[in-house]
Amino acid sequence: ILLDHAQDFTADPLSASSLHGIDIVVAAGSTGFMAQPQPDGAFNMLRPEDVSSAAYPTERKDADGHTVLVVNSEQLYRYVGNLIVGFDPEGHINFIDDRSGPVATTSEAIEALGSYIGDFKLETPAEVAAIYRSLTRTELIRDLYEVIGETTAPLNGLRADVRSRETNLGRLAADSTLWFARNYVSENGLEIPVDIALKNGGGIRSNINGPAILQLQVEAALAFNNKLGILPVTADQLIASMENAVSRYPARDGRFPQIAGMFLEYDPEKEGVSDQISLSVPSRLKTLIVYRQDGTEDVVVENYTAQGDLNRVFWLATNNFLLTGGDGYAAFKAINDNPDTQVVIPDVGEQQILKDYIQDALGGMVTLPEPLLDNRIVNIHDIPVLTAYQIHALTLFGRVTDDAASEGDFDNDGVSNYAEFHFASGSDDSDSKPMVLAGATAEGLITLSHARVAGSDATWIYEATENLSSGTWDTLIQGEHFEMVVTEQDGIEIVELQSLNTGFDSLFMRVRVE
């Protein structure tokens, strides 16, 4: 059995044909997720958000024509690998059990596994419990469990995601880098306008699930604790660097960018260009815009064509791994190796930078949704189309769902967040939220008010009926059946329907949102 650290099995599978005497390869560092297409009880029962990219196991032939099986499992104990094989008298694989495949660490999969193997009890051994109690009394562990902030949505650091698209944790890390770099140069009297920041997805190693953000989670997410590096890059060096950043996609490569102060669009169907010091002719980059510290917008690439003077300079904040040429960022290494170039390397790690940013810049509260609403990195073949309600839900709750509005219970309290927010239905803290208020004027006319997101594309339709059992609802028309007054505060509109008059003797009303 060979334990391998291949970075992306799906893009560059291990060449089993060069091996002798190896039966099984466990691709421990790979990103491509393996599973069988159909679940069998607990086996191959995937989490709802996961899709396999290769069969479990994947079969290859070695240099002698014998079977070699390649397997892997997802990171962070989200699955446990499970391979059941048989061998012939000569020690070659001759049987693969159909139950081979990952077992998810979810309550559903554990329940299914328990049903399969019969009664069993999960108990913590007394010795393990004693060791745990001892550890929790140490100063180190107490420090690691310090709460440094909160997040309204889980911060996504999944390997497959941070190496293929922008995530909210990736953005948070990039924003913290830019924020700290700007503060550092200002506090140290350096006249450097830090315009942009770049983090590599490979440097993000874990999720921060929240709602509490622990020091332990920050250290796990940014496990390398790379130091900050601030350097000047010319436009052609920036083009080369950002081409390198997206050059390996769809491979889940560590060089994939998480950025601040920039916007880019790229076409992964064009040739990927990596490890270049400078480029004047973009390949995958369709658009690259820098939003400079002084507030100006600088278009570097437009419609696959470089714009302006390629010698103009931008100041970029990154980490010392990329600064020394890691992940193919050859331009940064060339800049750093040039003794005539000013490069600033503060003696502070990215863990402290992120902690300071959350506490000092964000006041301890992270409010980035996942997925993000306003992507800075856009694959032109993968532009998501969200419904008006999904955009509305993302704005309010930091999450999006395919469920009906009545089923969007994001905080798992048994009540739809949509109903809680807009109509204060069943919420313990409903008094602090905008709510639907029904009342009447002195003339006996009904009034109704509710909350909605300002500027939302969602359409609100007011309907009424005399008989709930009829199934027939009439649309109420503004100006004919009611007048509307709208006031706005902090991005939330309070809508009041006044002078409601439908002509019905009795009235049931509903609000439909599209």
Determine what percent of the chain is predicted with pLDDT higher than 90. 53
DSSP letter for 427, please. -
Q: What is the pLDDT of residue 430?
A: 41
Token pair recorded at residue 189? 């009297």
Q: What is the H or E stretch that residue 421 is in?
A: helix 417-423
Task: Spell out a b/e string for 84-97, using b for 16 or more CB atoms within 10 Å of the CB, else e.
Answer: ebeeeeeeebeebe
How do 492-500 and 212-214 pair as beta strands? unpaired
C-alpha span between 379 and 245 (Å, rounded):
13
Task: Give the highest mean pLDDT range of 114-123, 177-186, 400-409, 445-454.
Answer: 177-186
Q: Which among 56, 60, 75, 77 is positioned nearest to 23, based on CA atoms? A: 60
Q: Is 447 helix (H, G, I), strand (E, B) or coil?
A: strand
Token pair recorded at residue 145? 């469990």
What's the whole-number mean pLDDT along residues 140-158? 93
DSSP letter for 403, please. S
In the chain, where the domains are located: 2-115, 144-379, 407-513
153 contacts: CB under 8 Å, gap ≥ 6 = 168, 210, 367, 368, 369, 370, 398, 399
Question: Residue for token digits 């890390």?
Answer: 173
Q: Among 3.30.1280.10, 3.30.360.10, 3.90.780.10, 3.40.640.10, what is the CATH number of 144-379?
A: 3.90.780.10
What's the whole-number mean pLDDT along residues 323-330? 96
How do 305-306 and 212-214 pair as beta strands? unpaired
User: pTM for this structure?
Assistant: 0.66
477 contacts: CB under 8 Å, gap ≥ 6 = none
Question: Residue for token digits 């193919």?
Answer: 328
> What are the CA-CA distances from residue 188 to residues 49, 184, 191, 344, 509 (Å)?
46, 6, 9, 11, 63
Instruction: Inform me whether the pLDDT recorded for 288 exceeds 90.
Output: yes
* Alpha-helix runs per DSSP H in 97-247: 107-117, 126-136, 139-144, 159-162, 168-187, 215-221, 235-245
The pLDDT tens digits of the residues spanning 162-189 come to 999 999 999 999 999 999 999 999 999 9
Q: What is the pLDDT of residue 220?
A: 95
C-alpha span between 329 and 316 (Å, rounded):
13
CATH entry 2.60.40 includes domain 407-513: yes
Q: What is the pLDDT of residue 420?
A: 55
Question: Residue for token digits 């950043």?
Answer: 245
Task: Give the highest mean pLDDT range of 34-48, 255-269, 368-382, 408-422.
Answer: 255-269
